[in-house]
Amino acid sequence: MDQQHSLQVQGLGASYGPRVVLAEVDFTLPQSGVTALLGPAGTGKSTLLRTLAGLNAVNPRFRSWGQVVYCAHPLRMPLSADGVQALPRLVQQHARLMRANTLDALIEKARQSESRAPLQWRTWVTEQLQHYGFAELAQVLDKSTMLLSAVQQRAVAILREAWARPAVLMVDEPTADLDGYEAFLLLDLIKQIGQHSSVLLVTHHQQHAQAAAQQMLLLAGGQIQEAAAMAAFTQRPLSAAGQQFLRTGSCAVPMPGTPLNELADDVLPPPPLPAAALAAIAEFSDLPASSAAVSEVVTSSKLEPVLPASTSVSAPEPALSQPAAVASSGLSSAARYQPRTVNAAVLMEMQPLLAAENAVPASRGPNGFSWLVPGRLAGTPWPGVVHGMDADLKALNRCGVTMLITLTEKDFPQDALARNGLKNFHLPVYDHEPPTVAQMQMLLARMSAALRRGEVLAVHCLAGLGRTGTVLAAWLVREGLTAEEALRRVRLIDAQYVQSEAQEALLYEFENALLQKMA
């Protein structure tokens, strides 16, 4: 590995318990510019970013392997965001950020390495906002970030990390659910940041990737399938996976470790798991490290199978890796795989919740209100946190909500609920923390029973982001999504859902608990 790149990754893998998500990932990033990380949904893009940022280390079932060199310094594995070593930075939305005023949120990272008087900070921020195309934020520096528009909140989250000048800044789906002009503003901001840092941008929108990025990586099947200049990739992709992805937005590359009986006839099996992956998942199975990986699979179309990964790649080239070769060997581990049966009663309890035909648009609800399942299940901030309590409760009534799921330490005032014809169920959860797996199972069972009675539910905490997003994502896991895909789905609704590493870790633990229940 040389010193011409900001980040060099070789053989990086990641697993959650017995499920391998990334097998062997190889790539490099230049010292500046924007690189788009592309790939089908649920293939581990967010896992890759969080692993590089050291945010997955808090999950006791998470394991990683491989080599990472950052700013010419080899990093100690596993990567952990404990401040001991510098790591790539991942843009995140925290509940603390939402409670801060805009000025404090913007300068929190920069003032860790720079010292200025308060008036000097305000002047500096105003100049920087003008330079980056968000001059209007200078007029709301004393305003809570919770009251900003979605595009302004995302700009604040990006700028606060960028102003700390990390060598690598990672941004996950920044333009999700934004209209064309707002998306353009953020893409232009990201391109400007790429002039002095290397930006790794995850986006499902190919046009956005083409507009912002100079380089691209295609992640599928637990490895990088293609790496090239963005212009060259869009004109003539070299790999079969790249050609299919450019044409359809997806590609038929199986997740690592997918057993033969789960593959379509025209799909080649993935290569065997590398030794490091086998050693990692051996901790969570009865098999020795040298044996093949075994996973639990749901044999029902209602639930997506959660499978371990097994993909190997060739050694990386400096700068850009070559298209991954598709292996046709390594059938022994898949051939030995025997799927476990599933308890039918469990599947019946997890039938997907269907949207109501007469669902009222979320725009008629209070500020921050969003449907997870239109007309049936929603998330919202504490009624009264922005406008009057009764006004927000009436807005919830307009949307058809009949019952609140209250997650704050203190219960919601019962007299206010009664005045507006509402009721609630209260599960106290500390801010920034998740409930236990047992509490989550109990809560979702209560919610399911209420929905069967015809109730329309709105989950809320204070800001309606961390604890609320965690419960909504857990609902999707309960319906059969992986924790990673559930996180991606809820963050397409609101990019700020699920605020802490502990909350994310709970979702993976909850997923594993469901798999054990179905075994």
Q: Which residue has the tokens 């595009």?
A: 151
Contact predicate 281/17, CB 8 Å? yes
Helix, strand or coil, per DSSP, at residue 377: strand
Contact 370, 363 (CB under 8 A): no
Res 385: pLDDT? 81
CB within 8 Å of 363: residues ≥ 6 apart:
none
Q: Which two tokens stand for residue 25?
A: 């990932």
Distance in angstroms (rounded) separating the CA atoms of residues 264 and 385: 51
Largest CA distance in the chain: 68
Residue 478 Cα distances to 78, 182, 347, 426, 483, angstroms: 29, 34, 10, 20, 9
- Catalytic, 461? Answer yes
pLDDT number for residue 12: 97
The 10s digit of each residue's pLDDT in 195-205 is 999 999 999 89
pTM of the model: 0.62
Lookup: tokens for 137: 């934020």
Q: Is the model's pLDDT at 344 over the cut of 50?
A: no
Q: pLDDT class for 54, splitting at 50, 70, 90?
A: very high
Nearest of 410, 382, 373 to residue 493 by alpha carbon: 373
d(CA 359, CA 349) in angstroms, rounded, equals 24
Crossing angle between the packed helical segments 501-518 and 437-452, to the nearest 10 degrees: 70
**C-alpha angle 195/208/151, rounded to 5°?**
80
* Residue, of 319 and 371, whose pLDDT is higher: 371
Report the alpha-carbon distance of residue 125 to residue 128 in Å, rounded: 5
The predicted-structure confidence for 264-312, as pLDDT tens digits, reads as follows: 766 778 888 999 999 988 887 654 433 333 332 222 222 222 233 333 3
Q: Tell me, what's the pLDDT at 130?
A: 94
Q: What are phi and psi of 374, to 5 degrees?
A: -50, 130
Confidence of residue 440 (pLDDT cuts 50, 70, 90): very high
Question: Lowest mean pLDDT: which of 371-385, 399-413, 448-462, 473-487?
Answer: 473-487
pLDDT at res. 311:
33
Least confident of 130-139, 201-210, 255-264: 255-264
419-435: pLDDT as tens digits:
999 999 999 998 778 89
Number of alpha carbons in the 13 Å side-chain half-sphere of residue 69: 17
Of the candidate ranges 150-164, 315-329, 437-451, the one whose mean pLDDT is the lowest: 315-329
| pLDDT exceeds 50 at position 339 | no
Q: Are 360 and 370 in contact (CB under 8 A)?
A: no
78 upstream amide cis, omega within 30 of 0: yes
Query: Of 423, 437, 456, whose CA–CA distance to 353 is shortest?
Result: 456
Q: Is 447 helix (H, G, I), strand (E, B) or coil?
A: helix
Q: Which of 118-132, 364-378, 442-456, 493-507 has the lowest mean pLDDT?
A: 493-507
DSSP string, 335-361: HT--PPP--HHHHHHTPPPPPPTTPPP
How is residue 3 annotated by DSSP?
S
Residue 332: predicted pLDDT: 33
The C-alpha atoms of residue 19 and residue 61 are separated, in whole angstroms, by 10
Nearest to 371 by CA among 389, 383, 354: 354
Least confident of 20-34, 262-276, 487-501: 262-276
Q: What are the φ and ψ backbone dihedral angles of 21, each rounded to 5 degrees?
A: -100, -45
- Calculate what percentage of the chain has a pLDDT beyond 70: 84
pLDDT of 95 strictly over 90: no
- Top mean pLDDT of 250-254, 263-267, 350-354, 367-371 is at 367-371
Q: What pLDDT shows up at residue 14?
A: 93
Task: Report whether 86 contacts 21 (CB < 8 A).
Answer: no
64, with CB counted inside 10 A (0-12, 13-18, 19+), is buried
- Residues contacting 410, CB < 8 A, separation 6+: 428
Share the mean pLDDT of the chain: 83
Residue 120 has pLDDT above 90, yes or no: yes
Can you list the alpha helix ranges (DSSP code H) found in 143-194? 150-162, 180-193
Q: Which domains does the chain have, with CATH numbers?
A: 94-165 (no CATH), 362-518 (3.90.190.10)
Q: pLDDT per residue over 456-465, tens digit each?
A: 999 999 989 9
Strands (E), 125-190: 168-172
Two tokens at 27? Answer: 């790539």
122: tokens are: 């305000």
Kindly name the residue from 71, 251, 399, 461 that is annotated as catalytic: 461
Q: Quick check: 100 and 506 in contact, CB under 8 A?
A: no
Residue that wins the pLDDT comparison between 148 and 311: 148
Task: Give the span between the Cα atoms of 167 and 242, in whole angstroms.
Answer: 28
- The two tokens of residue 54 are 């050291």
Tell me what pLDDT residue 322 has: 37
